[in-house]
Amino acid sequence: MGRAPRLTVRLTAALAALLLAAAPPALAGDGGLGAMAAGGYRPLDVDPTPEGENTARIKDLVEFEGVRGNDLVGYGLVVGLDGTGDGIRNAPFTEEALANLLERLGVNVSGEQFRPRNVAAVLVTATLPPFARAGGRIDVTVSTIGDADSLLGGTLIMTPLNAPDGQIYAVAQGSVIAGGATAGGEAATVTQGVPTAGSIPAGARVEREVAFDFDDLPQMRLAVRDPDFTTAARIEAALLSALGTGSARMLDSGTVRLNLGALRGMSPAQAIARIENLPVAPAQKARVVVDHRSGTIVLGDDVRISRIAVSQGNLTLRISEQPLVVQPNPFSRQGDTVVVPRTDAEIIEEDGPQLAVVESAVTLAELVQGLNALGVSPRDMIDILQSIKAAGALHAEFVVK
């Protein structure tokens, strides 16, 4: 009885040693479970610019957090039109806005009947660029909201531009450059382009700045425009190579975090200037984009298909109407003239190419060459690609617009 506890202790120790010896090794995907428990991070050892792949600059692949524009909008009047403005009866808001403008200028038009055809109500839109300073100039776009025919030759009167917070950030004014022309007479009218919309280059002056302390950011996230884990890993590798260990970390397929606090003696602006031109080879999904309306087909370079047989037939349905008019005999007192319908319908199957075999793992050039060998039109190619995708032989994302 006195030796039983010693045996239990020895068996427990032996069992613990056996379990430790049989434990699986730590995972190596993110530094292992041990490294994860200790808070460590091991970036992937990847080449940001693999040989044979096209490269792009980081600034063309990502959006920097905080470096963005702000949309502005305003309501204004365009004057000086050659009789192509709003009809006051159909656009009463134009008359009201014009009366308010004249009253602010000291002209009292209350109770007066005036119907000018040289004024148009417009919406003015613009984008306030990042880090825009007071006194800077930005481009604006002007679009009619009434029944004006054209903005050619018009001048936009001072128009405040507001942001979603209701504050005025810019004021627009200037001559409108319309993007079209119209001409016509009493019986016909010809219009080229869109004369009811135009632009004013540098037509707005910035009056208020967006408060943003960019220099004190402890970290910044880089948003990948086309999220992809391989692209994000290559961007991380390029940043680590340029800025040093601990300066960047990939969070997911669309986000890479830049640790600005680890960059000693370098401001956020200097860090971005140093990394935005680094070359990185983006990795993209194999994708096929088709547009039924225009018959456009775009295939990515990584599109692959399995071995498959393809045949495309042409069926033509031909219908012709040849009605026959039947009249009564001459000088007949009875009978009516009737139209007897005659319809001739037939289905013709034209001789087309025979069954063609497309080998597996062909390249993009070989795929296009094979489709062209079938002698089909672009719209028929779209149907063929859809059928190949439905058969499970097209290894790419299929996008239909």
| Range with the poorest average pLDDT among 36-45, 162-171, 256-265, 369-378 | 36-45
Amino acid identity of residue 173, one-letter, is Q
Would you place residue 254 in the very low, low, confident or very high pLDDT band (cuts 50, 70, 90)? very high
Q: Round to whole Å and give the CA distance between 120 and 147.
A: 8
Domain boundaries defined on the chain? 56-66+213-280, 70-180+192-206, 287-400
Task: Give me the pLDDT at residue 4, please.
Answer: 45
For residue range 219-230, what is the model confidence (pLDDT) as tens digits?
A: 899 999 999 999
- Per-residue CA distances from 381 to 32, 295, 306, 353 (Å): 49, 9, 17, 14
Output 274 or 293, whichever has higher pLDDT: 274
Task: Give me the pLDDT at residue 3, please.
Answer: 47
Mean per-residue pLDDT for 15-26? 41
For residue range 293-312, what is the model confidence (pLDDT) as tens digits?
A: 887 888 877 888 777 777 66
For residue range 315-364, what is the model confidence (pLDDT) as tens digits?
A: 555 656 677 777 777 776 777 777 777 767 665 655 555 556 666 666 66
Mean per-residue pLDDT for 219-245? 93
Task: Give me the pLDDT at residue 112, please.
Answer: 65
Residue 205 has pLDDT above 90, yes or no: yes
For residue range 122-170, what is the model confidence (pLDDT) as tens digits?
A: 999 999 999 999 999 999 999 999 888 889 989 999 999 999 999 999 9
Q: What percent of the chain has pLDDT over 70?
A: 76
